[in-house]
């Protein structure tokens, strides 16, 4: 964090560069003085179980997330999402942190993490708050490693806009609760046949079953709004109920009411998204339901 605090500004982190370098080259990003490579920061490359959580460092490439057995066991939706991101070459350098920090509402890793009740860890490199120089240096030294955890959803302010403070904050990684008995998740997406970047629509569901009842559920759909979207109203209609045609119809109605599907020039119209979400949501929900049995 020292380098982050003191290098020439404007400064931004770079991980795999698969989003950022394109944005810089194509003039979609404001000029930058320093690129801070975060791929070798040891803490950010860890992928391990710590206590009752799975920690995935922000600099872990999505290919490693996709092929790690612990992720498949505890976060199957994330394994499925990471396996679908781009092709093998991009997956080997693209990181989970970059996928999230870019703050796109339909990024595949992001939508899976949203359904998995993830906490994001953030490190801040705050500068001293005035006073004598020595005090400021000491304050900076102590603060240079300050980290905090926030609910995943709080990372997002709008399309392409994260809540991370520019030049001050880094995503360190993600904490996911471990899967228990009768809990399961699923991720699927609908993609243009020739498409290589973001999907037309994706969906992730995590649920816990108690016999034939949905004890708890989280549903994420991308893009279902300006930020990664949780279908909380659909979750409310399903919690405490069994999954059948009637409860599915109520959940679907709630999802369609709450989601704000939009038309994107290169991918799909809002109408088309409203149409195809029916089958995608049903498919993902039923898979998670079966897996949790
Ligand atoms: C051909 C191609 C296909 C693609 N297909 C898909 C796809 O199918 N699905 C999908 O979701 N995405 C896809 N993408 C998008 C991209 O690969 C992913 O979003 C990738 O995960 C971004 O990670 P990165 O490490 O390359 O990020 P970078 O490009 O290095 O960074 C992206 C943004 O995140 C910031 N950042 C990176 N790391 C951190 C950190 N630790 N803390 C704070 N900010 C950070 C950077 O400053 C930058 O603003 C595709 C891209 C390409 C080029």
Q: How far is the CA of 68 from the centre of ligand 1 (A)?
A: 20
Q: 93-131, pLDDT tens digit by residue?
A: 999 999 999 999 999 999 999 999 999 999 997 544 444
Residues in the chain: 293
Q: Is the shortest distance between the CB of 99 and ligand 1 below 6 Å?
A: yes
Pocket probe for ligand 1: among 14, 16, 19, 89, the residue whose CB has the most ligand atoms within 8 Å is: 19
Q: How far is the CA of 6 from the centre of ligand 1 (A)?
A: 25
Beta-bridge partner residues of 186 = 205
Span 157-184, average pLDDT:
96
Span 201-226, average pLDDT:
98
Q: Which is more confident, 184 or 5?
A: 184
pTM: 0.94
CA distances in angstroms from 206 to 113, 229, 231, 250, listed in the order given: 10, 14, 12, 18
Q: 7-66, pLDDT tens digit by residue?
A: 899 999 999 999 999 999 999 999 999 999 999 999 999 999 999 999 999 999 999 999
Q: Looking at residue 127, what is its pLDDT?
A: 46
């Amino acid at each position: 964090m020292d380098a982050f605090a003191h290098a020439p500004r404007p400064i931004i982190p770079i991980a795999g560069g698969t989003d950022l370098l394109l944005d810089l080259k194509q003039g979609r990003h404001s000029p930058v003085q320093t690129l801070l490579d975060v791929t070798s920061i040891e803490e950010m490359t860890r992928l391990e179980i710590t206590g009752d959580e799975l920690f995935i460092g922000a600099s872990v490439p999505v290919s490693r997330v996709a092929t790690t057995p612990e992720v498949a066991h505890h976060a199957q939706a994330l394994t499925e999402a990471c396996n679908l991101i781009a092709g093998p070459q991009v997956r080997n350098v693209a990181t989970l942190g970059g996928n999230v920090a870019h703050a796109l509402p339909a990024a595949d890793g992001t939508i899976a993490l949203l359904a998995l009740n993830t906490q994001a860890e953030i490190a801040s490199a705050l500068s001293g708050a005035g006073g004598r120089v020595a005090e400021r240096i000491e304050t900076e030294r102590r603060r240079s490693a300050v980290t905090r955890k926030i609910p995943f959803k709080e990372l997002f302010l709008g399309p392409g806009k994260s809540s991370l403070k520019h030049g001050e904050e880094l995503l360190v990684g993600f904490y996911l609760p471990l899967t228990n008995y009768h809990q399961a998740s699923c991720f699927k997406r609908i993609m243009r046949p020739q498409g290589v970047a973001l999907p037309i629509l994706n969906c992730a569901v995590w649920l816990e079953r108690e016999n034939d009842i949905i004890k708890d559920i989280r549903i994420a759909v991308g893009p279902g709004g300006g930020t990664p979207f949780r279908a909380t109203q659909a979750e409310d209609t399903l919690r405490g109920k069994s999954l059948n045609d009637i409860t599915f119809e109520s959940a679907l109605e709630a999802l369609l009411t709450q989601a704000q599907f939009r038309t994107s020039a290169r991918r799909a119209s809002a109408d088309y998204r409203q149409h195809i979400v029916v089958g995608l949501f049903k498919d993902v929900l039923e898979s998670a339901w079966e897996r949790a049995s």
